[in-house]
Structure 1
Amino acid sequence: MTAEAISTEEAPTPRAAYSQAVRRGPLLFLSGQVGTDPRTGRLVSENVAEQTRQTLANLGAVLAAANSSWSDVVSVRVYLVDQADYREMNAVYDAAMVRPYPARTTVYCGLNPGNRVEMDLVAVVDQPATRPT
C-alpha cells in the first residue's frame, strides 16, 4: 500500500516539506490548516471566529480534493493560542460539524505570529482520492 499526497489550490500552499494531506489505504491525514486565505496568502482577520471559519474552509477544500467530506472525519485536533478564544472558536466549529461528530482534542500552544487557531484531522475514506483518467 503506497502513500498518496493530496493537494489543492483551494487551500494554502505548504511553505515547507509537507503535503496538505496524505492518504494511505482508507486513512486520510490532513496537515494543520490556519485562517489563511489561499487566494491572498494572508490571514483573513485577527478575530478567532473568522480565522476558525477560514481554517474549516481550508480543511474542507483539502477533503474535497481527496474525494472526501466532513462526514468521513473521525478525529480533529484544535490548537489555540489563548484559552479565552475557546468559546468563540467552539461556536463556529459546532455549527460546521456533521453527525456522527468526530473525536476532538483541543490543545493550547504557541502558533506562528497572528494565528489564533490551527486544526488538523484524520478521515477514513472509501473512494480513491484521484479518479482514473
Structure 2
Amino acid sequence: MTISDDVVEQARQCLRNIGAALTEAGCGFADVVRVRYLLPDRADFEPCWPVLRECFGPVRPAATMLVCGLSDPRMKIEIEVYARRP
C-alpha cells in the first residue's frame, strides 16, 4: 500500500474508496447525509475543497472537520461518511 505525500491526492483516494463502498452497499454520494473530515493539520483542509465539492457539492451533507492525530504519520486526511440507503 502506497500513500501519496499530497493531501489532495489522499482526499481523492479516500473518495474513490468511499465511492466503491457506497456502490457495494447500493448507495451513492447522493445518499450521504453526514461527512466527517479528520486531518492532523488544519491548513491541509482548504486545498481539498475543490475535490470534496466534486462529490459533495450538490449533496450538502452535514459536515464536521476535526484536527487530530491519525494512525499513520503519512496520512494527511481521513474521510468518514454516513449514508441513507434508498
1:42 deviates by: 1.9
For the 8 Å contact 2:32–2:84, the answer to whether it is kept is yes
Instruction: Report whether the alignment pairs 1:97 with 2:56.
Output: yes
Q: Which has the higher contact order (CA 8 A, sep 6+)?
A: 2
1: distance between equivalents of 2:64 and 2:80?
A: 10
Query: Which residue of structure 2 aligns with residue 119 of structure 1?
Result: 79
Instruction: Report whether the alignment pairs 1:76 with 2:35.
Output: yes
Aligned residues: 85
2: distance between equivalents of 1:68 and 1:89?
A: 23
In the TM superposition, what whole-angstrom CA distance separates every residue of 1:24-46 from its partner, at most 9, and x where no partner exists? xxxxxxxxxxxxxxxxx221x11
For the 8 Å contact 2:29–2:59, the answer to whether it is kept is no
Query: Which residue of structure 2 aligns with residue 47 of structure 1?
Result: 6
Normalising by structure 1, report the TM-score.
0.60
Q: Which runs of 4+ in 1 moved over 2 A?
A: none
> Secondary structure of 2:45's match?
helix
Structure with greater Cα Rg: 1
1: distance between equivalents of 2:69 and 2:49?
A: 18
Consecutive unaligned residues of structure 1, counting only runs of 5 or more, are 1-40, 127-133
For the 8 Å contact 1:73–1:102, the answer to whether it is kept is yes
Normalising by structure 2, report the TM-score.
0.91
